[in-house]
Structure 1
Amino acid sequence: MVTEIKTYAPLFKKMVTSEKHQKALLGGIERLVGISHPTLIPSVPKILMAFYQADVLEEELIKQWGTHVSKKYVDRDTSKKVRKASEPFLKWLEEAEDSDDDDDD
């Protein structure tokens, strides 16, 4: 799936042009891995990283999504599982931001 994201990144960038679109994409990822393809749940960090590196998803929005379980796109249990799986990526974002702050000193 990650290679597909890289292949279609230009298309995603044209389609995902607002915060609302980014939230819908995250909800779609939740539905895809949480309901349609639960075997992909362990790949959530790689999926998020691919969208982040392609400049499709913004850091702050991913962090916000990662901290709030929602039942908008999937049931709460599924949402928790997907967000739990995303923790390594969220931790990486936090650490990257901390090291950027250290560089400013």
Structure 2
Amino acid sequence: MDSGIRAIVDAVEEARRQLRENALPKARDSSREKVPEKEEAALMGAVAGLMEAAVDLIAAASDRMTTGDSRKAYVRVVDRLRDHPRYLREDTATIEKRVGGPE
């Protein structure tokens, strides 16, 4: 694997590991208190940012694909996911309007 691709794969794997080891256990812990209303939008906004980064990465990588079939697959994924960060941002704004932002 060329060093550029290895660095990308390593970064994505590290982000995935961090999410699984740090964020998911906290999200799943039913003994924790409820999320304060003023913080509800923060998580949605963070997920929107994560999704934006994933779409950006896939779009950037599509230009580097050697074969047409791979390039089409990457472009198809971007087409499928492109609108989702916007939806999450809209939902974040809706939550912020309803409960306000963090204090």
Same fold (TM over 0.5): no
Greater relative CO (CA pairs within 8 A, separation 6+): 2
Question: Which one has the largest radius of gyration?
Answer: 2
Q: TM-score range by the shorter chain?
A: 0.3 to 0.5
TM-score (norm: length of structure 2): 0.36
